[in-house]
């Protein structure tokens, strides 16, 4: 697969790059960032996927996430995709709303027009981009984990729960844990998938757990001063679902923290070390 290098910069001994390619899944060009730490020739490194939230691109976490030091210390490749297809002819919300359309792909494959041709973020993130990463970077695809923020936290949880044999660790910052039950999710899932609520369940972490999906453990950080906490995020729903299913959930409510990258960057190192510990475990 052809890959175009946009920029590369030296950081903590490794290389932070931004790349672009023509996506078959979305029918558009897609950009993403990858940090590759310094490593021995021929080495294959574990991969941490980071899914971003509403209105974001790969650039938000790349510039504000403060992840590179720990990735360099623990030998982790860090991959940050975009949040939606972009470009001429890509459908957007008619009113230009921030929480649907461009920048708000919700990590699903749309079944509703006019979004069907391009909004195939589930396929892009779970199939196409991993194949590209495996081909173009020194990635050990037997050691992957996934994390995300807000809408990206929703994506990380649903993808991690759907592919438990692929991802050794799953964590999130301020995730939308039950999109079927909150305005952000209801708008997006209805718009992309239609009004049949049963079709939403595979893109709802709480519903997936209720329907039998399992992982060993989860790590969630949530700011108590987050203005979206009560209406949109509702982490207690995930807490209840995990308790009923026997999933070990570490839910840390952080006093005074909001929904921003000031919050995310504060606890990013904790999450990456948590992922690195699980990625280091030898299977078998």
Looking at 145, 150, 171, 174, which residue is catalytic?
150
3 state DSSP class of 273: helix
User: How far does Cα 219 stand from its chain's mean position?
Assistant: 14
Residues in the chain, total = 284
The DSSP call for residue 185 is H
DSSP 79-111: EEE-SS--STT----TT--TTSBTTB-TT-B--
Element (DSSP H or E) covering residue 49: strand 45-51
Partners of residue 171 on adjacent β-strands: 147, 219
Which of 145, 138, 270 minimizes the C-alpha distance to 215?
A: 145
Looking at 154, 203, 259, 275, which residue is catalytic?
259
**Phi-psi region for residue 230, left (φ > 0), alpha (ψ -120 to 50) or beta?**
alpha
Residue 275: active-site member: no
Q: How far apart are CA 244 and CA 236, in angstroms?
A: 12
HSE-up (13 A, CA, CB side) for residue 188 = 31
Residue 150: active-site member: yes
Element (DSSP H or E) covering residue 168: strand 167-173
8 Å CB contact between 147 and 61: no
Residue 259: active-site member: yes
Looking at 82, 109, 204, 226, which residue is catalytic?
226
Cα dihedral 110→113→114→118 (10° resolution): 30
Say how many Å lie between the first and final Cα of the chain, rounded: 32
Give catalytic residue positions. Answer: 150, 226, 259
């Amino acid at each position: 697969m052809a890959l175009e290098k946009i920029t590369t910069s030296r950081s903590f001994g490794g290389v932070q790059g931004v790349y672009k390619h023509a996506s078959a899944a979305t029918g558009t060009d897609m950009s993403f960032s990858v940090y590759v730490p310094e490593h021995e020739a021929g080495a294959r490194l574990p991969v941490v996927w980071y899914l971003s939230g509403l209105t974001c691109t790969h650039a938000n976490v790349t510039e504000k996430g403060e992840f590179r030091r720990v990735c360099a210390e623990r030998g982790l490749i860090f991959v940050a995709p975009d949040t939606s297809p972009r470009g001429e002819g890509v459908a957007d919300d008619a009113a230009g709303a921030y929480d649907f359309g461009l920048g708000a792909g919700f990590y699903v494959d749309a079944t509703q027009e006019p979004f069907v041709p391009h909004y195939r973020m589930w396929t892009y993130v779970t199939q196409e981009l991993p194949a590209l990463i495996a081909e173009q970077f020194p990635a050990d695809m037997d050691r992957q984990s996934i994390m995300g923020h807000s809408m990206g936290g929703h994506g990380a949880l649903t993808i991690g729960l759907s592919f438990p044999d692929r991802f050794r660790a799953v964590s999130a910052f301020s995730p939308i844990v039950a999109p079927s039950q909150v305005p952000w999710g209801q708008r997006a899932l209805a718009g992309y998938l239609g009004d049949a609520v049963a079709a939403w369940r595979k893109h709802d972490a709480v519903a997936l757990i209720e329907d039998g999906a399992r992982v060993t453990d989860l790590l969630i950080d949530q700011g108590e001063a987050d203005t979206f906490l009560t209406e949109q995020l509702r982490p207690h729903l995930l807490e209840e679902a995990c308790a009923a299913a026997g999933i070990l959930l570490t839910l840390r409510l952080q006093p005074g923290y909001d929904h921003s990258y000031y919050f995310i960057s504060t606890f990013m190192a904790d999450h990456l070390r948590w992922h690195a510990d699980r990625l280091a475990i030898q299977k078998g």
